[in-house]
Amino acid sequence: MIVRKTLSLKAVYQFAGHHIGWLTAWMLIVTLLYHFTHWRWITIPWLPLSVIGTAVAFYVGFKNNQAYDRLWEGRKIWGSIINSSRMFSTMVKHFIVAGELTKEEMGDIKRRIIYRHIAYLYTLREQLLAPTQWEHVSLQWRFGTFNQRRKNQLLAIAYKEEFDEIESKKYISDEEIKLYENMVNKATQMLDMQTSDMSLLFRKDCLNMMQQVKLQDILNDFYDHQGKAERIKKFPLPRQYGSFSFIFVAIFVFLLPFGLVGEFNKLGGNAIWFSIPFGVIIGWIYVVMEMIGDYSENPFEGLFNDVPMLSICRTIEIDLLQMMGDKNVPAAIKPKNDVLM
C-alpha cells in the first residue's frame, strides 16, 4: 500500500514513465510521415476519434471501479480478521479456566492457542501471496521479470529484517509443523487444530458449553474471512473486462496521432510538431488509467498496491502478545520507500 499522499516524480516514473518512450516514438513516426510525405489521406477526422476516446474512457472507468471494489473488499476482509482476532484472544484469555488442568497447564494451552493463531495469520498471508497465472508476476517475457523484480525488492530486500524476525519466532512446535507439511491449505488445518483444542478444553471442564460455542463461532468467522480472501485471490476480474480494456486503449492510442496531426496542421507554420507532445500526454493519460485498474484488481499480489497484510499481521501479533502479558513484543511495521506491506 502506497502511504505517501502525493506520489513523487520518481514513483510516477517507476510506475508508468517507461511508456513515455514508445509513445513519443509512435507520435514522432506518424508526424514525420505526414510532414515529409504529404500523405494527407492518413489523417482521421477528430469527431470519430473523440467519440472513440470518450467510449474508451467510460469503459476503463467502469473496469477501474470493479478493480477498486476488489481491492477495498480485500482490505475489509483483513479488517474483519483484525476484529475477530481480538475477540477470539480476549475470549481465550478470560473464558478458559483450570478445570481438570493445573494452572500451569491452563496457561500453556492458552498461550499455545494464541501463538497458533498468530502463526495462522502469517500462514494465511503467505498462501495469499502465492502467484496465480493472471497476476503481473506471472506474465511472460520482460513484463513478468520486471514485476518479479519489483516483488522481490519489496518482500525480500526492503522488508528483509522484518521477515528474518518472523522466521526466528516459532509460534508452533516442531511436531505441529510436521503435521502441516503435506497439507495443501495449512491455514485451514490450523483452524481445525484450534477447534480440536476447544473440544479438549470442554471435555476437561475448562470451558462450559456456551463458551465453547462462542469460541467456535469466532473460529467459523475465520473460515469465512479466509474463504472470502481466497475467492478474490483465486477468481480474477473477468478477463473479458481486463483484456478488452487494454485492447480499446491500444486502439485509441494507435489512432490518436492520425487525428492530431491534421488538427495541428490546420494551425499553420510549425504547429504540426506540437502534435507530438500533446499526443504523448493524451496517450500517457489513457495508458496510466488502464494501468491503475490493472494493478488494483489483484490485492494479494505482493506489489506496491497490495493490502498491507504484513503490517496487519504484525498489528494483531502485538495486540495478542500484550494481551498475554508478553514483554518481548515486536515493533510495528513501518513503511519502506513510501510503501507499507
Claim: this prediction has a pTM higher than 0.95 = no
Pair 52, 252: CB distance under 8 Å: yes
* Helix (H) or strand (E) segment spanning residue 176: helix 174-180
Extract the C-alpha cell encoding 143. Answer: 513484463
Percentages helix, strand, coil for the chain (3-state, rounded to 5) are 75, 0, 25
Q: What is d(CA 163, CA 129) in angstroms, rounded to the nearest whole number?
A: 14
Q: Among 26-30, 161-165, 261-265, name the one with the lowest average pLDDT.
A: 161-165
What does the pLDDT look like over 273-307, one tens digit per residue? 888 889 999 999 999 898 888 888 888 887 778 88
Return phi, psi of residue 336, to 5°.
-120, 120
Name which of 284, 332, 277 is nearest 308 in CA terms.
Answer: 332
Q: If you write DSSP's letter for every residue of 135-183 in order, what string do you get? A: SGGG-SHHHHHHHHHHHHIIIIIITHHHHHHHHH--SS-HHHHHHHTT-
Name which of 173, 128, 161 is nearest 330 in CA terms.
Answer: 161
Pair 324, 317: CB distance under 8 Å: no
pLDDT at residue 142, as a whole number: 65
What does the pLDDT look like over 15-53, one tens digit per residue? 788 888 889 998 999 888 877 887 777 888 888 888 999
What does the pLDDT look like over 315-332, one tens digit per residue? 998 999 898 888 888 888
